[in-house]
Amino acid sequence: MNTKVKEIMNIKLETIKPDASVYDAIEKLVDKRMRSLIVLPKNENDVYGVITVRDIVFKVIAKNLDPKKIKIEEIASKPVISIDKETELEHLIRLMEKFNIARVFVHEGKEIIGVVSLLDVLSASLVAKARSK
């Protein structure tokens, strides 16, 4: 399986400002049918972060906190774990296993251009197997 992440990544990405509320993020995630949002850097010295459905459920909902009063930057994970678009799938799988993460962002230079989830990896491996005789 010599597939590269750029061949299977999802290019649909949505961003959110760090000072937006968790409620804004929930609206965006529901409207766009997504599971994570890229958190934009606060300033030039800052880095990209990520907020996932998991973060919202465990850090806000489960603790009975008001999503309208919590800011994204309070619960977002930083820095975002990302890999180069030319990375091979085997390496991506090892990374996911090592960090116990379900999705990894893909970068080209300094720009984040896509995301690959565990389901994308599973689908790609099944399709690759079906394509081999």
Residue 124: CB minimum distance to another protein, A: 9
Task: Decide if 80 contacts 41 (C-beta within 8 A).
Answer: no
Residue 79: CB minimum distance to another protein, A: 26
Residue 119: CB minimum distance to another protein, A: 10
Task: Decide if 55 contacts 76 (C-beta within 8 A).
Answer: yes
Which CB atom, from 110 or from 131, has the smaller least distance to another protein? 131
Residue 130: CB minimum distance to another protein, A: 3
Which CB atom, from 33 or from 63, has the smaller least distance to another protein? 33
Tell me the two tokens of residue 28: 């965006």
Task: Decide if 86 contacts 77 (C-beta within 8 A).
Answer: no
Taken in order 19, 21, 27, 33, the sign of the CA dihedral is positive
Decide if residue 98 touches another protein (CB under 8 A): no
Taken in order 59, 25, 71, 95, the sign of the CA dihedral is positive
Applying CB under 8 A, among 12, 54, 91, 94 the residue interacting with another protein is 12
Binding site for another protein (CB under 8 A): 11-12, 33, 123, 126-127, 129-131, 133
